[in-house]
Structure 1
Amino acid sequence: MFTVDQYISSIKANLEKHSDVLVANLKNIFTYNFFSEIDLLDFTAFIEPTNFEISIRMFSMDKEANEVFYEGNDTTVLAGSVDVIPDIKYYQLNDNLLDDFIDNFYEENYPAISELEQKAFIDWFSENWKKSGGNILNLPSFFVFHDDIKSYDLKSNQWVDDDDKWS
């Protein structure tokens, strides 16, 4: 009933429907006047697998892995976090198929399917990050899955351990 290829293709198609919004939101973010105390940007993906939803939020960070905030009076300066994309559906499934999907298909194909999902999310985000002009940013920028220990460097297109990112 379910196949890995079909599932991943569906994820890619659903994400693609939101590419224009992602590109527009990223272009807007890239125009911000970032606070000088910011060392890097983390574009963090929050995945809600039971609802098949993803949201992405940008966090401005320092080298000690702390979020940077600006408390000055200049309203043009950005620090803190910004929503990049709200909860969007990355997969559509009828409720009556959910148990079969999770109990049989997903569990039988895990962890390979998890890696393919992550690759689909990263490919989609990094492609749109480039389309948006992300390479013009003077700040190191990373895509990270919430609570993960590695990050995807959007400029070098490589995975880095968080220890290296924060050093």
Structure 2
Amino acid sequence: MLTVDNYIDSIKANLEKHSDLLVGNLKNIITYNYFSEIDLLDFTAFIEPTNFEISIRMFSMDREANEVFYEGNDTTVFAGSVDIVPDITYYQLIDNSLDDFIDNFYEENYPAIYELEQKAFTDWFGQCWKKSGGDILNLPSFFVFHDDTKSYELKNNQWIDDEEKWS
């Protein structure tokens, strides 16, 4: 029988399989020569719940919540966005159909399960961030869920309201 605990444990185990990929990609972005107009980095998680996939893309941003681009000739300067993690599966249905999972498990355990999922994704990303040495970046860096109103500040390990990030 599917329980909240074994569902979350399964998510954590599936994410762990991709930790080396995430750490390697984070180590790579640490070496970038960031454009001086960039004020912060947003690592945005895109969750696709109907097929249990997550992808993460890094966006270089200014304080007005706009993505920063570089149009100069120096090919060593980075600005814009880059994929950090492609679509990876964070959960696999075993005995249930998707409709059964959503109707009989997810909805019965919502919103607690939603919060636990977000914590699992955030903890995984934060651990990989630390392991990659991400704290050496001189740019404020945040882990965010697409279309959410809060951001996880990676250096301080705390959630903040998005308005704080842009001020």
TM superposition score normalised by structure 1: 0.98
Residue matched to 1:51: 51
**1:65 aligned partner:** 65
Aligned residue in 2 for 1:42:
42
CA deviations over 1:118-144 (Å, ceiling 9, x no partner)? 000000000000100001000000000
Q: Name the residue aligned to 1:117.
A: 117
Structure 2, unaligned runs of 5 or more:
none
Distance 2:122 2:35 in 1: 26
2:99 maps to what in 1?
99
Deviation at 1:99, TM superposition (A): 1.8
Corresponding residue for residue 133 of structure 1: 133
What RMSD, in angstroms, separates the aligned Cα atoms of the two structures?
A: 0.9
- 2:162 aligns to what? 162
Worse-superposed segment, 90-99 or 63-72: 90-99
Distance of 2:51 and 2:85 partners within structure 1 = 16
- Contact conserved, 1:2 with 1:101, CA < 8 A, in 2? no
- Pick closer, same or farther for the CA change 1:134–1:34 going to 2, 3 Å: same
State the alpha-carbon separation in 2 of the partners of residues 39 and 95 from structure 1.
Answer: 47
Shift of residue 154, structure 1, vs aligned partner: 0.2
For 1:66-81, what aligned pairs fall within 5 Å after superposition?
66-81=66-81
Mark the runs of 5 or more structure 1 residues left unpaired by the alignment: none
Identical aligned residues as a percent: 84
Distance 2:23 2:89 in 1: 17
1:12 is matched with which residue? 12
Structure 1 letter corresponding to 2:50 = T
Q: TM-score, normalised by structure 2?
A: 0.98
Which residue of structure 2 aligns with residue 30 of structure 1? 30
Find the aligned partners of 1:40 and 1:99 in 2 and give their Cα distance.
39
Deviations 1:44-95 (A, max 9, x none): 0000000000000000000000000000000000000000000000001148
Distance (Å, rounded) in 2 between the aligned partners of 1:133 and 1:121: 19
